[in-house]
Structure 1
């Protein structure tokens, strides 16, 4: 699905939904979000493929900047590092005991 400021991506393997992700667009910036891979398809490079496709689309759209957020140390974090993303800042969680 694609509308002016949002694109939803679905990767299928043998006709079955395997993985999905989105790209929000605002002006000349993009934001990758909503990445998910069904458990049966994990470890097959699904997210790497979807990240690559969305970045390719961002280039075709002439976007100047693409960002995302992931939890530090996760598989998603590793996927974004492989795709060339760099850590901009770390989010911290606070609690009062």
Structure 2
């Protein structure tokens, strides 16, 4: 903890302190530890744009899934109806054939 005592800083000039401070701030800006207001606003705008895009695509996906679900349901109903109709025709044909065989 000798670095925190005034005697340790006795030989350091003001210019050295300013240069060290500028170097620390430059490193912090380069590494992203410190972000200026303009860069921060730009990053937040980009983040908001991405969130809006994701929400829009989710809503579009939801509509597509709903349409697909309705289509599959309608096909299943049509398929069930077609099977029922074919079974009725087949039963009718079988009944006709047995009626002809008895006569």
TM-score normalised to structure 2 length: 0.24
Asked which structure has the greater RCO (Cα within 8 Å, sep 6+), the reply is 1
Higher CA-based Rg: 2
The structure carrying a bigger strand percent of its residues is: 1
